[in-house]
Structure 1
């Protein structure tokens, strides 16, 4: 069973979503403004936070920014349909995924389950205590830690999963669609830049401690982690 926090100021929509998710076996807490949502998100453990962008008091971006300063709880942003800026900006701030409104309730549930499968995968592989050390980057699955030249990075679960896939296939091109299916649990839609933004975030974090660009873009194909 997933423990969810739904931060949505539309009471009718929030109640409908909560009722549906509870019927699917989820435990759902609700917040109706950004300040209340942030307080709950930082005071209780949740498996996933469902975060609307347009919120009173604190908007969804401010909530995400403050949450990411202390917590790595997976976040799915609920954005306006067709608003690419909101989607990309949310991912840049550390959201794990997004879903444009209006959306099908079953698709939201599928996104939640995809995050759950990714977390289960990390837990299973961590039992093998696998250590990947390539170039200046060391990834420790058992401790779920990534270090660059001895400096530990703070990664979201999605960023960790993307980096793990790339490092596990060092020297090989990993397609964007393959990354999306493994990490996000879905195929990439046309013009979907989710994976691009997660990789961009990874590059920025690695670049703080290393001048080597170990993640190379293969135009039209995907990405490759280089052993330099």
Structure 2
């Protein structure tokens, strides 16, 4: 069965263009023209990925992203005309998995969608026998997708969880931002290292006693990051 995509976009010409290219690629697609309509569709139907424009009537994309993330863990790909880093950081912090800036090529859109669907499927197919990771005060359960610090649960977004788990499963190995982006987001040539930096900072705030002097995820200057096992 083909995957089902929800496009939440108030510009009808852009929404139709996105729909047409995704349908050509074999996806089922529905369109919501405003934030309220998008939220109602999310609550009443099953989708595998959401393309979410930020500048929406009734409920803006930022608020809608936060609301959707409370109800489902499916990938959310922000679509925005803004190139401001602050918008990217805000959207990622609210639970979006990635962003794509208008104007973009149809091929890039389809590639991003396929990549995030594939990564989500792999994340959901976690091997139950390797479900628990214990390092110092950190406990990661990959099956239930929960993270605990000193037995207290800490909330993580999809990509934060996947990034933390990836590093924790490869202790004491150094990974460049490019390697991390390719592994977690599944793309290389389209990579934006700022995305990795934002996620590392957010993870540190959640698991480190002092994020300026991290004990778990350490920066290897000029190279990348290393998880201290």
TM over 0.5: yes
Calculate the TM-score normalised by the size of structure 2.
Answer: 0.88
Q: Counterparts of 1:65 and 1:117 in 2: how far apart (Å)?
A: 23
| The 10-residue stretch of structure 1 (215-224 or 12-21) with the greater mean CA deviation from structure 2 | 215-224
Aligned residues: 226
Aligned residue for 2:102? 101
Cα shift at 1:7: 0.4
| The 10-residue stretch of structure 1 (17-26 or 137-146) with the greater mean CA deviation from structure 2 | 137-146
Q: Contact 2:75–2:117 at 8 Å: present in 1 too?
A: no
Cα shift at 1:222: 1.6
- Equivalent of 1:226 in 214, 225, 228: 228
Aligned residue for 1:22? 23
Q: Counterparts of 2:205 and 2:68 in 1: how far apart (Å)?
A: 19
Q: Counterparts of 1:100 and 1:196 in 2: how far apart (Å)?
A: 18
Cα shift at 1:67: 2.0
Q: Counterparts of 1:63 and 1:140 in 2: how far apart (Å)?
A: 28
Aligned residue for 1:59? 60
Cα shift at 1:189: 5.8
Q: Counterparts of 2:125 and 2:67 in 1: how far apart (Å)?
A: 30
Q: Counterparts of 2:161 and 2:174 in 1: how far apart (Å)?
A: 18
Cα shift at 1:78: 0.6
Q: Counterparts of 1:45 and 1:150 in 2: how far apart (Å)?
A: 33
| The 10-residue stretch of structure 1 (144-153 or 53-62) with the greater mean CA deviation from structure 2 | 144-153
Aligned residue for 1:186? 187
Give CA deviations for 1:116-156 in whole Å, capped at 9, x if unaligned.
Answer: 22122223333443421112111222333222221223322
Aligned residue for 1:89? 90
Q: Quickly say closer, same or farther: Cα 1:192–1:80, change in 2 above 3 A.
A: farther
Cα shift at 1:107: 1.0
Q: Contact 1:216–1:223 at 8 Å: present in 2 too?
A: yes
1:174 aligns with 2:165: no
1:197 aligns with 2:198: yes
Q: Counterparts of 1:191 and 1:2 in 2: how far apart (Å)?
A: 26
Q: Counterparts of 1:131 and 1:187 in 2: how far apart (Å)?
A: 29
Alignment partner of 1:193: what SS?
A: helix
Alignment partner of 2:47: what SS?
A: coil
Unpaired runs of at least 5, structure 2: none
Cα shift at 1:30: 0.9
User: How well do the aligned residues superpose, as a CA RMSD in angstroms?
Assistant: 2.3
Q: Counterparts of 1:213 and 1:31 in 2: how far apart (Å)?
A: 44
Aligned residue for 2:33? 32
Alignment partner of 1:21: what SS?
A: helix
Q: Counterparts of 1:44 and 1:216 in 2: how far apart (Å)?
A: 42
